[in-house]
Amino acid sequence: MTLDLPTLLQDIAADVRPLLGEGEVASYIPALSRMPRDRFGIAVATIDGRVYGAGDSGHRFSIQSLSKMYALALALQREGDALWQRVGREPSGTPFNSLVQLERERGVPRNPFVNAGALVVTDVLCRRYLQPERAVLEFVHRLLGEADVAIDAEVARSERGHSDRNAAIAHFMRSFGNLHGDVGAVLDAYCAQCAIAMSCRELARAGLFLAADGVQPPGTRVVDALAARRINALMLTCGAYDAAGDLACRIGLPVKTGVGGGIVAVVPGRLCVCAWAPGLDANGNSIAAAAAIERFATAIGASIF
């Protein structure tokens, strides 16, 4: 049976519509609190170059923690396995912005996707690049083969002005010697990277290198195969924070979530899918986007298990 992806995506968009009023938008970043909860988009990009979408699949939204995939890819390329001396590779079982493990674990974050780990990754990029957020953005441009995607300066400013929690995490890690640069500079770069705005279509296309062993179709190697495998493994085990186990059971794929409401999932060897809906559950993961990707993965038999 050949899959009719356009019809499947339309059906999924209709199916999840009743969920769109549920959850809360990420109001701790004031610029995101204005997002209407009735938006929904889904897009699929296949490694042979096709892109399909439904709903608001072309609408750009704040990628937030989805940026951590790109930052990690860049840091791994530059730093190699030395990165793992400063960031762990284990699920945290805690919220994305938690501090509790840091004291017991001497300032070494559990993984690169919790905020603490992403701040260490940004610190690494601050050492390597004069403008680390530009490096992340240019990496995205390279993945897309175009330079249209940009940082939403208002969202970046809004988060930076309300970043006490991330500042506390960064200072705490610095006190253990695991953050080397200036905390303010790290926060500037991190908030700017999180404020990149992309659509489901762009995110699905940009994620294809993870489905293709580090080669961005049609043939540009952007990370080595081992790095791609590790990013996928970390997405599966840590990409949805304290809901990683639940999403692994429901979806069975490497996923990354963001408080902008986006979720990216990778089907190795085949495709990348991104869904977006601003209403979040208590873990900060989009309710309707998770339901949509669950339906998609089930319909095409994509679970890796």
Binding site for ligand DON (CB under 6 A): 64-65, 96-97, 115, 159, 166, 194, 257-259, 284-285
Q: What residues are paired with 275 via a beta bridge?
A: 42, 263
Answer yes or no: is 285 a known binding residue: no
With beta carbons less than 8 A apart as the criterion, state whether 43 and 57 touch. Answer: yes
- Return phi, psi of residue 41, to 5°: -140, 155
Q: For residue 43, give every residue at least 6 positions away whose Cβ sits within 8 Å of its Cβ, in sequence order, or none.
A: 9, 51, 52, 53, 54, 57, 199, 200, 201, 203, 204, 273, 274
**CB 241 → ligand DON: shortest distance, Å?**
7
Strand 61-62 with 196-198, pairing: antiparallel
Residue whose CB is less far from ligand DON, 96 or 296: 96
- 258 burial via Cβ count (<10 Å: 0-12, 13-18, 19+): buried
**CB 72 → ligand DON: shortest distance, Å?**
14
Residue whose CB is less far from ligand DON, 186 or 271: 186
Answer yes or no: is 70 a known binding residue: no
Residue whose CB is less far from ligand DON, 47 or 187: 187
- 238 burial via Cβ count (<10 Å: 0-12, 13-18, 19+): buried
**CB 160 → ligand DON: shortest distance, Å?**
10
Answer yes or no: is 115 a known binding residue: yes
Residue whose CB is less far from ligand DON, 46 or 123: 123
Give the CB-nearest residue to ligand DON. Answer: 65
Answer yes or no: is 267 a known binding residue: no
Residue whose CB is less far from ligand DON, 194 or 291: 194
**CB 86 → ligand DON: shortest distance, Å?**
18
Answer yes or no: is 166 a known binding residue: yes
**CB 273 → ligand DON: shortest distance, Å?**
17
Binding residues for substrate, by number, are 65, 115, 159, 166, 190, 241, 259
